[in-house]
Amino acid sequence: MSDAQFTSSSDIDVQGEARQLLVDLVSTPSVTREEGEAAAVLKGFFEEHDREVWIDEVGNVRAPADDSALLTSHIDTVPGDVPVEIRAAQDGDEPALWGRGSVDAKGPLAAMAVAAVRTGVSFAGVVGEEVDSKGGRYLVDDRETEPDAVVNGEPSGWEGITLGYRGLVGGTYVATSESGHSSRPDNNAIQDAIAWWSAIEEEFGGDEWDAVFDRVTPKPTKIQGGLTEDGLSVEATMEVQLRVPPSMNTEEVIEITEGHLDVADRVHWNDRVEPVMESPRTPVARAFRAAIRGAGGDPRLLRKTGTSDMNVYAQVWDCPMVTYGPGDSDLDHAPNEHLVLAEYDRSVDILETVADRLQED
C-alpha cells in the first residue's frame, strides 16, 4: 500500500495517550500477513509502560499479566485506501478518526491495550483474523493455561455486548464428466454443479421469517468450468461457504450437503469454524452490563451473523467470554470507515471498569 495514502500520525492534532495510540495504529498499514510494523507500534506502547511484552513467532503481540481477564483483538485489516484524518463523522459533527481499520478492529485493539496497561490485566494483539485466524489459533495452542475470562475486540458500539457468532464451513466442490457434443441430453459437470448448489439452497431455504442468525446461509464465492486441457472431460469447480447457527455444528452441515452429491462429485472441505453462543449471565457479561449502565448507557446484547476469533477461543478455552469494542460494525471494510473519538473514549472507560471488576471477583 502506498505511503501516500496515509497521513503521518505526527501531523494529526490529537490529545491524550489513548487517542494517540489509536491514531498511531490506524496510521500504520497492517493488511493481513503484513502486520509487522503495527505490531511494533503496539509492542512499543507496552514497553513505554514497563510491561512484559514480546512478539511471538507468528506475529502476535503478547503482554501477559493478571489473567482474571485477557483483552485481545486483531491487528490485521482488509485492504483499502482510506486516508487517515480527523474530521467530522459522516452522520454528525462529532470528531472522528477516518482510516482503514479505525473500526475493524484497531479501535477495539487500541482501547484494549490502553485498558490493559491501566488495570494490569493480560493482553494479546493477534494476526490473521481477516483470513484464517492464524494468530488466534496459535494463541490457544501456545498458552499453557486458559485465562479466567476473555474479552475479544470487535466493533459492537460502546453500549453493545456481542455474545454469539455463527460458525463456518468452506470447501471446494469438484465435478467431472466426459466431454461430448452440447446437443446431448446428459448433464455435464457444469450442470451437475448447478444442480447440486440448487439442492443446497433449497435444503437450507427455511422460513423467511427466521432470523438470519438462526439459519444456515449458503454462499458460492467462486465458480469456473469447461473443457479440460486434453479436451476429453468437462470439469466444474465451485468455492462454497455455509454459515452455521449455534443450533447446529459444522459436521451436521457437512453431512447434509454431502447427502446431495452424486457418486462422481466431491467436496474438499478446507475451513471449519464452530459457532459460539455465550450466556448473558456470566461474570464477564454481567460486568459489562453494569459498567455500561454506570456510564449512562443502555446495554444491548448482540448476535453476529459472521465469525470472529471468539469462535476459536470458545472451542478450546472453557471460560466466560464476550466480544466488545467501539465502532459501528456497518462500517467494517467500508470505504467510509471511521470511528467517533468520543465513543472510543467511552469504550476505554468501560473496559477499565470491567477489568477492575473482574480482578475483584
Is there a catalytic annotation at residue 11?
Answer: no
Pairing of strands 121-126, 66-74: parallel
Mean pLDDT computed over 115-121 = 98
Q: pLDDT value at position 2?
A: 36
CB neighbour class for 93 (10 Å; exposed up to 12, middle 13-18, buried from 19):
exposed
C-alpha to C-alpha distance for 77 and 127, rounded to whole angstroms: 9
Is there a catalytic annotation at residue 252?
Answer: no
Q: What is the pLDDT of residues 187-214, one digit of tens each?
A: 788 989 999 999 999 999 877 788 999 9
In the chain, ranges of CATH 3.30.70.360 domains:
167-273
* C-alpha dihedral (352, 355, 357, 361), degrees to nearest 10: -170
Average pLDDT over the chain, rounded to an integer? 92
Other Cβ atoms closer than 10 A to 117: 22
Q: pLDDT value at position 264?
A: 65
Pairing of strands 61-63, 121-126: antiparallel
Catalytic residue among 24, 35, 76, 148: 76
Q: Is 105 a residue whose pLDDT tops 80?
A: yes
Nearest to 265 by CA among 334, 194, 354: 194
Q: pLDDT value at position 302?
A: 98
Tell me the pLDDT band of 10, cut-offs 50, 70 and 90.
low
Q: What is the pLDDT of residues 233-243, one digit of tens each?
A: 889 999 999 99
Concatenate the DSSP letters of all residues of 298-334 into one string: --EEEEESS--HHHHHHHH--S-EEEE-SS-GGGTT-
Crossing angle for the helix pair 36-48 and 106-119, to the nearest 10 degrees: 20
Query: Could you tell me the three cell numbers for 284?
Result: 464477564
In the chain, ranges of CATH 3.40.630.10 domains:
3-165+276-360
Q: What is the pLDDT of residues 68-98, one digit of tens each?
A: 999 999 999 999 999 999 999 988 889 999 9
Mean pLDDT computed over 314-330 = 97
Contact (CB, 8 A) for 349 and 180? no
Q: Is 288 a residue whose pLDDT tops 60?
A: yes
Q: pLDDT value at position 206?
A: 75
Catalytic residue among 24, 35, 104, 129: 129
Mean pLDDT computed over 8-18 = 67
Tell me the pLDDT band of 14, cut-offs 50, 70 and 90.
low
Other Cβ atoms closer than 10 A to 271: 13
Query: Could you tell me the three cell numbers for 244?
Result: 452455521
Q: Is 183 a residue whose pLDDT tops 80?
A: no
Tell me the pLDDT band of 1, cut-offs 50, 70 and 90.
very low
> 3-165+276-360 domain in CATH 3.40.630.10?
yes
> 167-273 domain in CATH 3.30.830.10?
no
